[in-house]
A and B are shown apart, each in its own frame.
Chain A
Amino acid sequence: MSPNVTRRVVLAATAGGLVLHERIGRADDTTPAPPSALPQKAIDVELRVNGSRFPLNIDPRTSLLDALREQAGLTGTKKGCDRGACGACTVHIDGRRVLSCLTLAARCQGKAITTIEGLNAGEDLHPVQTAFLHHDGFQCGYCTPGQIMSGAALIKEGHDGSDAEIREWMSGNICRCGAYPNIVAAIRDASREG
């Protein structure tokens, strides 16, 4: 089915070279014990998010998503699957869209991270945010930060040539509320403006 193909395309484009953090094992009498998870020493990392510095003392296994949500207090970036399958956690790292659940926070030292909280400047919304608001490109709003971060990146990537192209390059961001037609309309509008 094409959903898989398109997800893979987007994953390849956004998550290349990043490390999948440790899978969680299950307890069962029939399976051998998982390798014992060694006590991890906390490490110091300084994250640069939306132009501010966040000096954090983190467990090295921490994903960028958990570091943002649980430690930096930036909960705008959402956790939908924690496995690179839904796009809710999309942020920009050095200008490219990246799945923060598949990214180790420890590898982000020195990089410029932008989250939904930093996409707009002050009170003015980013054109993609404005367009989502007017086109009702969401319902529950939970996938929305990821959709908007993807949409803003998509326009910069030049993948806004047609509705079909927008659909394809937005297919790594699942919206269970099914706002897709409105999302496409919003991105089309914002891309004309920019």
Chain B
Amino acid sequence: MASIGQGVDRVDGRLKVTGRARYAAEFPISDLVHAVLVQSTIGAGTIAAVDMGAAQAMPGVLAIITPDNAPKLAMKGGAQQAVRAPLLQDNAVHFNGQHVAVVVAQTLVQANAAASQVRIRYRRDEPVTSMDAALAQAYPPKNFRNGERPPDSRRGDPDTAFDGAAAKVDVTYITPIEHHNPMEPHATIARWDGDRLTVWTATQGISGAQQSLAGLFGIAPQDVHIVCPFVGGGFGCKGNTWPPATLAAMAAKVVGRPVKLAVTRAQMFTSNGYRPRTVQKLRFAADDQGRLVSMRHDGFSQMSQPVLGEFSEPVGLATEMLYACPNVAVSHRLVATNASLPTYMRAPGLASGNFALESAIDELAVALKMDPLEFRLRNYAEQEPHQNKPFASKALRACYQQGAEAFGWSRRSAEPRSMRDGSVLIGWGMATSTYPTHRMPASAYVRLGADNSALVRVGTQDLGTGTYTVMSQIAANTLGVPVERIRFELGDSAFPHAPVSGGSMTVASVGPAVKAACEAARAKLQRDGGEVAEASVDVKPGEEEHRYAMHAFGAQFVEVRVDAELGEIRVSRFVGAFDAGRVMNAKTARSQLIGGIVYGLGMALLEETHVDGETGRIVNANIAEYLVPVNADVPDIQTIIVPNDELVSNPLGAKGIGELPMVGVAAAVANAVYNATGVRVRKVPIRIEDVLV
């Protein structure tokens, strides 16, 4: 029963197309009341006074929670996902749009009306609203990659090698603040039964949410029950337990009734992180044979005030490992501003870092008068050059070849403005994609019946990535039964532990647990006989991580059409070829690939959060002016999955597919825009005004 790899329809698809899939805000809980957030309108300072007289007197209002009357939180435990501020525990305002009060009322309409009447007086300080003006105050991160490695690295002597090289680029690239904007805004329903808390919430990590809320409220993790069967997209912003979830639980405690808190689209822009702005300085050089001799990549990324936490955008990671260059140095620095805390966003570090890296590589190829694909092949890293380890597998050369072939790359004219269709300039560009393969410990429970039906439970999540479906396939494949015989359940903290759905690691982590639990249950049934057999299994990664470098790879090829007079840029063709290891489901994998490419097209041409320099207020905090790709922006996309049956990385051979397809898209587009127009744009999004010369 070889169901792994087959493009079976999603097992939860019927629920989704009929509107019966239930998301966090949609659980019918009796006696439910509604909470609405009130946000600060200054960028820095303190709350002087809250006047809630008018609001309090309004119909239906049950409570107005402010820093003056908010219950004190226990703040125990150290769950990594816990965002510990701002949670109404003091009067400080660190950014514009900070939650400063919560209004609870009988109905949503009443809560909204009362929230608009809460009057807050502030003592203002001068906010730091621009990172670029504060670069001189940059500081090294204290906890880079959660303390797993230092923020800087160096091999060889890049500066000396740069000085004597034949071809050089010395450039600065900039990426803007971007917001995840999943279509489902954050929402939480919280209910206390004595000292036990039940939370229906939109999260990428139910285990993290359980640990976080237990610590913040000072109760045992087993007294916190998280329920989350469906997530309406996450892209990183539902990884942490952000203040709105905690404030919902706080509000439920205050009013003694179940509370629903649904964050509005506008509030999403300061409630749950963002991809920080980066300024990246690159100095790359090659010899006259087209061999890279020096790479320096110094990254600065925007931070909130340090008291709110720490997040650094790891822009230099791919620069360390992608090319066989003997002299490489990368560094990461943070710049504090009065903004909310940034966080992971689809392909953190890689999306921003590879835009700069793969654009600068293109610049160097132009300087050398070499075909950019040929230049990359000449510097191909046969083994991981930073840690000097073999790759578990690397089919990047096949990605380049198959992608180029499908795209017709050999017919490209390298001279800018040389390919035309009437008044439209045509440009072709390409870039490399890579994303590390991660794996974490996970557990699974299986109840196998003698009738060959199985119930499988894991406390994991499905963000739309297809977890329900591919785990059903893995179980069916292991047990040798049709997929229809499997019932896979997830999204409940009562189920066995699984890691956060992030870092493209769900299949690599949870899949082996499901496989092992199915094998154990089957062995038990065969040994003991009877009607049913149960098995619970914990699995964890082995030594492979220390012996091998594990990464997924890809090659992105794009055609843009630029109106020579108007500068309008349209993407007309896209080919992506990927080595993501073994694919569990050809259909959902393709959806991941096209979805990632579309996300990358948004980064390349549309997405940017604008901050008012005076007040620190986000001025386009809505999904009409924060432009994201719509259907008419997206051309035909051809995706190629390069076969790779390696099983060293993990027992299923899955190298991760959620983030890989977004990496390199922005660089490929920027390189195509250069080929079309002769204008090198060193920032995204690339706009009309950037190419009108």
Enumerate chain A interface residues (CB-CB to B < 8 A): 1-4, 6-7, 22, 24-31, 33-34, 36-37, 39-40, 59, 61-62, 66, 69-70, 73-83, 85-86, 88, 115-117, 120, 125, 129-130, 132-134, 136, 138-145, 148, 166-168, 170-184
CB-CB < 8 A to A61: which residues of B?
109, 113
CB-CB < 8 A to A183: which residues of B?
631
Residue B641 at the A interface, CB < 8 A? no
Q: Once the chains bind, are A86 and B623 in contact (CB under 8 Å)?
A: yes
Residue B375 at the A interface, CB < 8 A? no
Contact with A along B96-133 (1 / 0, CB 8 A): 00000000000111101111111111100000000000
Of residues 616 to 662 in B, which have CB atoms within 8 Å of A's CB atoms? Answer: 622-624, 627-634, 636-637
Q: Once the chains bind, are B595 and A7 in contact (CB under 8 Å)?
A: no
Q: Is the interface of A mostly helix, strand, loop or mixed?
A: loop
A80 to chain B, nearest CB (A): 5
Q: Once the chains bind, are A85 and B19 in contact (CB under 8 Å)?
A: no
Question: Known: A37-B113, A70-B108, A138-B16. Contact between A7 and B624, CB under 8 A?
Answer: yes
> Considering the chains assembled together, what is the distance between the CA atoms of A40 and B13 in angstroms?
41
Residue B214 at the A interface, CB < 8 A? no
Residue B416 at the A interface, CB < 8 A? no
CB-CB < 8 A to B235: which residues of A?
176
Stretch at the interface among B68-76, B177-185, B431-439, B442-450: B177-185
Number of A-B contacts (CB under 8 A): 246
Which of A30, A37, A132, A177 contacts B233 (CB under 8 A)?
A: A177
> Considering the chains assembled together, what is the distance between the CA atoms of A129 and B9 in angstroms?
13
CB-CB < 8 A to B18: which residues of A?
76, 116-117, 120, 125, 129
Q: Once the chains bind, are A27 and B38 in contact (CB under 8 Å)?
A: yes
A10 to chain B, nearest CB (A): 9
A84 to chain B, nearest CB (A): 8
Q: Once the chains bind, are A176 and B634 in contact (CB under 8 Å)?
A: no
> Considering the chains assembled together, what is the distance between the CA atoms of A168 and B26 in angstroms?
31
Contact with A along B266-283 (1 / 0, CB 8 A): 000000000000000000
Q: Once the chains bind, are A82 and B631 in contact (CB under 8 Å)?
A: no
> Considering the chains assembled together, what is the distance between the CA atoms of A172 and B108 in angstroms?
26
> Considering the chains assembled together, what is the distance between the CA atoms of A4 and B58 in angstroms?
38
> Considering the chains assembled together, what is the distance between the CA atoms of A39 and B21 in angstroms?
36
Select from chain A the residue with minimum beta-carbon distance to B638: A181
Q: Once the chains bind, are B230 and A141 in contact (CB under 8 Å)?
A: yes
Question: Known: A26-B116, A66-B108, A184-B631. Contact between A178 and B464, CB under 8 A?
Answer: no
Q: Once the chains bind, are A81 and B598 in contact (CB under 8 Å)?
A: no
B641 to chain A, nearest CB (A): 15
Question: Known: A85-B622, A176-B233. Contact between A117 and B466, CB under 8 A?
Answer: no
Which of B38, B113, B622 contacts A83 (CB under 8 A)?
A: B622
Sample of 15 further A-B pairs with CB below 8 A, known A27-B120, A133-B17, A171-B630: A1-B627, A24-B115, A27-B117, A28-B120, A75-B26, A78-B232, A83-B623, A117-B20, A136-B13, A139-B588, A141-B17, A145-B19, A177-B591, A179-B595, A180-B634
